[in-house]
Copies of this chain bind each other. A is one copy, B any other.
Amino acid sequence: MALLKGSNSVSGGAVSFSEEQEALVLESWAIMKKDSANIGLRFFLKIFEVAPSARQLFPFLRNSDVPLDKNPRLKTHAMSVFVMTCEAAAQLRKAGKITVRDTTLERLGATHLKDGVGVAQFEVARFALLETIKEAVPADMWSPAMKGAWGEAFDQMVEAIKQEMKPIACY
Contacts and interface: CB of A to CB of B under 8 A. Distances in A.
Interface of A: 49-53, 119-121, 123-124, 127
Nearest to A122: B53
A109 B124 CA distance: 24
A127 B49 CA distance: 7
List the number of copies, as a whole number: 2
B127 A53 contact: no
Contacts of A120: 51, 53, 120-121, 124
17 contacts: A49-B127, A50-B50, A50-B123, A50-B124, A50-B127, A51-B120, A51-B123, A51-B124, A51-B127, A52-B123, A53-B119, A53-B120, A53-B123, A120-B120, A120-B121, A120-B124, A124-B124
A6 B51 CA distance: 29
Contacts of A127: 49-51
